[in-house]
Amino acid sequence: MSIARRGLLGSLATLLSGCSPAAILNATVPKRGYTLQADIPYGDGPRRTLDLYLPEQPRPDGKAVIFFYGGSWDTGKKSDYLFVAQALASHGLTVIIPDYRLYPEIRFPTFLEDGARATRWAADKVGTDKLFVMGHSAGGEIASMLMANTPYLSAVGVDRLKLRGLIGLAGPYDFLPLTSAKLIDIFGGANNPDIQAITFAKAPLPPALLIHGTADTVVYPRNSEHLAAAWRAAGAPVDLKLYPGVDHIDLVAAFSDFLHKRATTREDVLDWIDTH
């Protein structure tokens, strides 16, 4: 690997791990395959807006994805994830990427409530039966908590069982006890079972795809392994994919053309959407 490429990857890891604007990676994204409608409100306030990516060549089936990004529930913004949106929209999917309110302004479960409202907007826009709910890292916690047997979506008038399915990318689903003072403050204690999807992995559940890298030391692979087992025990369809040697950042960065050889995330997500 060249010195320039190593430097770029190191800078990218820093940007994505802090969920700062991923300008280096997004600069490599083709400016084609979609049109962007930015900063659409789904609620009150600057953090309750979303970006809508409309494919230039929509799929005949009209399928769509709402994507929740990570950032430890205290950082991140939707524009960082152009590379995810472009990868999906260029394959005909409508893509919705919402912002949501962050700590320390709010605490659990406010970001789940924001996620539910954004999902309601997306379902109204594209149709409930065409929408997949996807998230990476902390966004995977949001997506999984919305799609598990919880009341967050029903509170905003969305039937989670009519949605197409859950796509979880290296999410924390079974991560107690908390040891970080910040996370304990965000979630209201070190051992609150109501913050993790495995608590609510009870029938009925929608189909799920869970992807994790075995080299992930930010969110350990056992999170996806345990949730997949619980999903399966509840009688729900679930596909678990573990990527040897892939870490937390590579898993999502592989959506981009520039780093797509780091993992098969993009291909596996698109294949799963095709068959569900």
Question: Is the pLDDT confidence value at 7 over 70?
Answer: no
Q: Is the CB of residue 53 less than 8 Å from the CB of residue 35? A: yes
Sign of the Cα torsion 70, 114, 185, 105 reads positive
Query: In this predicted model, what pLDDT tens digit does every residue of 24-83 receive, in sequence order?
Result: 788 888 888 899 999 999 999 989 999 999 999 999 999 999 999 999 999 999 999 999
Q: How confident is the model at residue 11 (pLDDT cuts 50, 70, 90)?
A: very low
CA distances from 214 to 220, 221, 222, 225 (A): 8, 6, 9, 11
Mean pLDDT across the chain, nearest whole number? Answer: 93
Q: Is the CB of residue 208 less than 8 Å from the CB of residue 236? A: yes
CA distances from 148 to 49, 163, 198, 257, 271 (A): 24, 12, 8, 32, 22
Q: Is the CB of residue 149 less than 8 Å from the CB of residue 201? A: yes
Sign of the Cα torsion 7, 12, 14, 15 reads positive
What is the rounded distance in angstroms from the CA atom of residue 90 to the CA atom of residue 42?
25
- Name the residue among 41, 43, 101 with its Cα closest to residue 73: 101
Sign of the Cα torsion 111, 112, 117, 119 reads positive
- For the entire predicted model, the pTM comes to 0.92
* CATH architecture classification, 3-275: 3-Layer(aba) Sandwich (3.40)
Q: Per-residue b/e over 224-255, b at no fewer than 16 CB within 10 Å?
A: bbbbbebbeebebebbbbebeebbbbbbbbbb
Which helix (H) or strand (E) segment holds residue 87: the answer is helix 82-89
Say which DSSP state 246 is in.
-
pLDDT of residue 143: 98
Q: Is the CB of residue 235 less than 8 Å from the CB of residue 248? A: no
> How do the domains of the chain map onto residue ranges?
3-275
Q: How confident is the model at residue 6 (pLDDT cuts 50, 70, 90)?
A: very low
